[in-house]
Structure 1
Amino acid sequence: MSFADKLTFGGADGVPNRRRRLFGVSIGLVYVLFPISSLLSGQVTGVKAVWGALSIVAFLVSYIATTLSPRTFYERGRWTYQLLGVTTAIAVVSALVFGDTWLTLPVFTVVLYSFTLQPRGALVGMVGMLAAVIAAGLLSASEPGEIVIFGVQVVTLGLLFIGVRNTRVLAQQLRDAQGEVARLAAADERLRIARDLHDLLGHSLSLIVLKSELAGRLAEDSPTVLREVRDIESVARQALVEVREAVTGYRQRSLPEELDNARAVLRAAGVEPHVKVSGTPLPDLLDGLLGWAVREGVTNVVRHAGAKRCEIEVTYDGKAATLEIMDDGRGAEPRQPGSGLSGLSERVLGAGGSVTAGRAPKGGFALKVRVPACVEAPA
């Protein structure tokens, strides 16, 4: 789901703060004073007044329940839309039955639309409430000027609060993007350190091992020297193993973590992610290799595809693991040599697997990685 689905007043970790949300939408509460005043002034009396009071109470309860319904930035609550429908029905019926100052209830409802629905849905709701105000005003023989005033309020408040909500959404999107940039920068720095560590220490220690072997052959006539040289060789070999283990720890990519990161990155880029995983957990080496593949594949989707939707599917049948990443973008292969696909192909081929990449049958770009379960650690 895109960032346009985010709620306006949010808290930490994507969970909206209910009190802030209620404060935002309670701005429209001023409009309920008009129908209340008609009851207190005696303009509506008898049984009709009783039904009017009950409708106001029901409207307020439904309105507040809709506002406070549990939800996150990416999902509406279970009853959000049902409660919104009830609120709308009460507002429209009350306006049609009572007319006059009760035309403010549809205006009231437009504020709720602006904070609950996507911009397109909020605009549709605004038009619907405008039609309800005009119809109710005509049926109740309200003054034309009064109908026009309420109609203008429906439009202006609707557009105003849609704009406010969109501003909040864009601000949240910017914060999420900045956080993702920082996370990616930290990950890239870790990989740079790992590469440098491997290149510098790995090369030096390998050279020490080779020189120790040569010195050992030259010192075969001296047991003491030979023993010392063998100790140097043993220590160098152990250090080389430890360096490689440390580098592997830095560079390891857990598949579940990378799938979570992929969802966040795709959403931040405006791409709808669809992830399907079956047959996991994978063996450690397979897990790390496919985690690397997910990262590289999703990076290419974000940078080069111009896609709106991306499907990621991971399957494991005990004999081999398969990763497929498909998007609905332009279908062109990335031209930059640093895209990472070439490095990924080398790692997968070195593990006895295969990589296929190219235009998908239905358009877009497709990356498929298949690795046997007996994968060995890359050198």
Structure 2
Amino acid sequence: MSRLTNVFTFGGPDERPSRWRRLVGMSFGMVYLFYPAADVFSGKVAGARMAWEIAALVSFVVAYLATVLSPRDTETPTRWTLPLLGLTTVMVVVYPLLFGGGWLALPIYMTVVYAMALPPRQALLGVAGMAAVVIGDGLVAGADGGTISMLLLQVTTLSVLFMTVRNTRQLVVQLRKAQSEAARLAAADERLRIARDLHDLLGHSLSLIVLKSELAGRLAGNDAEPVAREVADIESVARQALVQVREAVTGYRRRLLSEEIDGARSALAAAGVALTVRTSGTPLPDDLDELFGWAVREAATNVVRHAHATRCEINLSYGDAGATLEVADNGRAGPYLPGSGLTGLSERVAAAGGSVEAEPAPSGFRLKVVVPSRVPGCPVAV
């Protein structure tokens, strides 16, 4: 009897059990008190015995309701629950022996409490104990075989019914907890997606804004027309970045490889880097096209920020063996520490079943993304 569950609760898994609701639910079961009450008020008993039976009836009702309504936390009994359960059990055993007759219906109440309050194994032991009480007390009180059989049938059927109710309640609680956890994980994944997308989008756009601003500063003293053109480009890139952020937050943006190559060409040209693009094989499927679009954006951003290169090459191939994207530059080769951009790209590619290689080359830096052939219709997570 190490654990107790909530008895007759109707709220969610994180709500305090409503005692009033439990009281209303349990009041329907009071119909079985008709039998001992009929013995008391039918005139069969009188005088001191009647007073004792009324006191016993009141004490049982109080103890029973206190047991049902005793506060408890999920599956941990409080200091009052077990003593009240024991006291009520003693009354159920003793009162039929003292008063007989309709008092033999009391074990039915404890059957319901055991079935709802105890774990299955202990509940079965409690129900078996109540069946033994019905037989033993019934024989001592001189009840006929039909009455004992009827009470045993009610003990059995009600125990099965309320144990099923209890198990259903537990499944509902577990389902609500699982739904809450799934919602929490979905929110965490969405926050991660937004953070990753914002980094990838703004890193590229802001790098281009910085380059345009520096170029505009250098041209400011020479000719107003080139300065105005660069400032216009800065405004255009800033507006585009704002649109991209909004689309990333709402999850609507799709990275097209052709658009990213055009954007990379513009950004690299502003940084004085010549871009060469080579493609071979058949066109990429939509999911790989979007994935490689993110890869080109990240690679171009890194070249603009860190490489100090003059040339950059993008080589793309797609066929039966899978898809390969390689971006290489002739900039400075030095120690390599992966940043959040490459980390996010690696996560995207890994979700597609591919791999990322990013390492210094003999004359610059090389980024290689490989995605092997996949089962047709299997989507890529981007």
Question: TM-score when scaled to structure 2?
Answer: 0.53
Question: In the alignment, does 2:112 pair up with 1:111?
Answer: yes
Structure 1 residue 48 displacement after superposition: 3.2
Matches of 1:20 and 1:172 in 2, distance apart? 17
2:161 paired residue number = 160
Structure 1 residue 74 displacement after superposition: 4.3
- Write the deviation string for residues 293-317 of structure 1: whole angstroms up to 9, x where unpaired: xxxxxxxxxxxxxxxxxxxxxxxxx
1:135 paired residue number = 136
| 8 Å contact kept, 1:9–1:20 | yes
Specify the code of the residue in structure 1 equivalent to 2:63: S
Taking only aligned residues, the RMSD between alpha carbons, in angstroms, comes to 3.9
Specify the code of the residue in structure 2 equivalent to 1:184: L
Matches of 1:58 and 1:92 in 2, distance apart? 14
Matches of 1:93 and 1:18 in 2, distance apart? 28
- Write the deviation string for residues 161-217 of structure 1: whole angstroms up to 9, x where unpaired: 111222223223323322332232223212211111111112321343355456656
Matches of 1:165 and 1:8 in 2, distance apart? 8
Greater mean deviation of Cα atoms: 174-183 or 189-198 = 174-183
Matches of 1:110 and 1:161 in 2, distance apart? 9
2:51 paired residue number = 50
Alignment of 1:290-329 (within 5 A): none
Specify the code of the residue in structure 1 equivalent to 2:90: A
1:325 paired residue number = none
Question: In the alignment, does 2:31 pair up with 1:17?
Answer: no
| 8 Å contact kept, 2:101–2:143 | yes
Specify the code of the residue in structure 2 equivalent to 1:140: A
Matches of 2:15 and 2:152 in 1, distance apart? 35
206 and 8 in structure 1: CA distance in 2 versus 1, 3 angstrom threshold: farther
Alignment of 1:96-107 (within 5 A): 96-107=97-108
Specify the code of the residue in structure 2 equivalent to 1:34: Y
Secondary structure, in 3 states, of the residue corresponding to 2:24?
Answer: helix
Structure 1 residue 23 displacement after superposition: 2.2
Structure 1 residue 60 displacement after superposition: 0.2
1:275 paired residue number = none
Matches of 2:122 and 2:113 in 1, distance apart? 12
Specify the code of the residue in structure 1 equivalent to 2:104: L
| 8 Å contact kept, 1:8–1:168 | no
Alignment of 1:100-249 (within 5 A): 100-210=101-211, 212-213=213-214
Matches of 2:4 and 2:198 in 1, distance apart? 43
Secondary structure, in 3 states, of the residue corresponding to 1:11?
Answer: coil
Structure 1 residue 135 displacement after superposition: 0.9
Secondary structure, in 3 states, of the residue corresponding to 1:16?
Answer: coil
Specify the code of the residue in structure 1 equivalent to 2:71: P
Matches of 1:58 and 1:211 in 2, distance apart? 88
Question: TM-score when scaled to structure 1?
Answer: 0.54
| Percent identical residues | 52
Structure 1 residue 28 displacement after superposition: 2.2
Matches of 2:199 and 2:124 in 1, distance apart? 58
| 8 Å contact kept, 1:22–1:68 | yes
Specify the code of the residue in structure 2 equivalent to 1:107: I
Specify the code of the residue in structure 2 equivalent to 1:84: L
2:85 paired residue number = 84
1:67 paired residue number = 68
Structure 1 residue 5 displacement after superposition: 3.3
| 8 Å contact kept, 1:32–1:108 | no
Greater Cα radius of gyration, structure 1 or 2: 2
Structure 1 residue 95 displacement after superposition: 1.7
| 8 Å contact kept, 1:34–1:102 | yes
1:277 paired residue number = none
217 and 5 in structure 1: CA distance in 2 versus 1, 3 angstrom threshold: farther
Matches of 2:17 and 2:35 in 1, distance apart? 31
| 8 Å contact kept, 2:36–2:103 | yes
- Write the deviation string for residues 141-168 of structure 1: whole angstroms up to 9, x where unpaired: 2112211111111111111111122222
Secondary structure, in 3 states, of the residue corresponding to 1:23?
Answer: helix
Specify the code of the residue in structure 2 equivalent to 1:67: V
Secondary structure, in 3 states, of the residue corresponding to 1:14?
Answer: coil
Count, aligned residues: 243
Matches of 1:82 and 1:209 in 2, distance apart? 75
Secondary structure, in 3 states, of the residue corresponding to 1:10?
Answer: coil
Structure 1 residue 61 displacement after superposition: 0.4
Matches of 1:37 and 1:131 in 2, distance apart? 24
Secondary structure, in 3 states, of the residue corresponding to 2:104?
Answer: helix
2:37 paired residue number = 36
Greater mean deviation of Cα atoms: 25-34 or 11-20 = 11-20
Matches of 2:4 and 2:61 in 1, distance apart? 27
Structure 1 residue 30 displacement after superposition: 1.0
Specify the code of the residue in structure 2 equivalent to 1:121: Q
Specify the code of the residue in structure 2 equivalent to 1:21: R
- Write the deviation string for residues 254-291 of structure 1: whole angstroms up to 9, x where unpaired: xxxxxxxxxxxxxxxxxxxxxxxxxxxxxxxxxxxxxx
Specify the code of the residue in structure 2 equivalent to 1:99: G
